[in-house]
Amino acid sequence: MRLIGISRLHELARRARDGLDGAIPALVAELEAGSWRSMGQIAEFYPSAVIDGIKVRILLDGGYRIDLLADCEAQMVLIEYAGATMGHALRAKQGAR
């Protein structure tokens, strides 16, 4: 997968320092090596992730999380947010009124 917004991950790793114990470099390697063809495959690879449409939230130790937008067809992942768990809310889809 091609990663966009990787600087957000590097910034989180810098801020968290030893709090993530190498989790960020490992996640970057996994995302770059991934070649998922569907959101279901991503869900299988990250079983604890919260997936809503193309949005993926991966929870990390220490109260941190990564929010991604994944386009399996284009083989691209946008790092939308990387930081404290309290930062952004993953909004569920709302039906038409």
For 12-35, the pLDDT digits (tens) are 988 887 778 788 999 999 999 999
Predicted TM-score (pTM) of the model is 0.81
Separation of alpha carbons 10 and 72, rounded Å: 23
Mean residue pLDDT of the chain comes to 86
pLDDT for res 42: 96
pLDDT for res 91: 45
Separation of alpha carbons 21 and 23, rounded Å: 6
Look at phi and psi of residue 68 and say left if phi exceeds 0, alpha if psi is from -120 to 50, else beta: beta
CA atoms within 13 A on the CB side of 15: 12
Per-residue pLDDT at 78 exceeds 70: yes
Per-residue pLDDT at 95 exceeds 70: no
Separation of alpha carbons 30 and 24, rounded Å: 10
- Band the pLDDT of 55: cuts 50, 70, 90: very high
**How many residues can be counted in the chain?**
97
